[in-house]
Amino acid sequence: WQRFGGMSSRLLFTEIFAVAMLCRVLFALETSTVEALQSQVESKKANMKNSAARSLLDKVCDVVIEVDNGARLTQHEPRLSTMLLLAPARDLAGARLHDFLVSADTPVLDARLERVNSELGKEGAMARIEDELLHVRMHDGLQNVIDVELFHLPFMTIAGGLHHMVG
């Protein structure tokens, strides 16, 4: 073995290899950290936009709910239970918005959701509240019919799914 400053070439090669591997690991960690931070920033931006929209809807609407693309409530909303005279203990998470509409009005909601889906690629499709006003009838727990106007704002979740904020 040749010696370089008292080290064998095998030991020198091992140390160079170890330093190269350490650099590769540090680069991978830095890359994943940057990606995670970018994801957090995007998540916070989306949450801020949704919070602003929800805050606005809360000021002008009696009830604000979030539904997924299948029109299912993403979480329980006590104000909807109260408005529809439903039992307070009844969890509405996962219930379809259709379940509360007069059956003749469900095609109106379906047509609106289909139109929104088809417009997603068009410029400005996600930013329109004013022309998303929808007139429907809902029935309460006593089967009374209630005329309501729904403000509707579609938005993309962090996971890339389409959801709708409805007030």
Confidence of residue 127 (pLDDT cuts 50, 70, 90): very low
Using a pLDDT cut of 90, give the percent of the chain over it.
Answer: 34
Contacts 24+ apart (CB under 8 A), 47-52: 49/155, 50/155, 50/165
pTM beyond 0.85? no
**For 5-64, where are the E strands, in sequence order?**
7-8
- pLDDT tens for 7-39 read 577 787 888 899 899 999 888 888 888 888 777
Among 30-39, 78-87, 88-97, the range scoring the smallest mean pLDDT is: 30-39
Longest dimension (CA), the chain: 95
- CA dist list (Å): 148 to 91, 130, 138, 151: 22, 15, 7, 10
Judging by DSSP bridges, how do beta strands 3-4 and 7-8 pair with one another? antiparallel
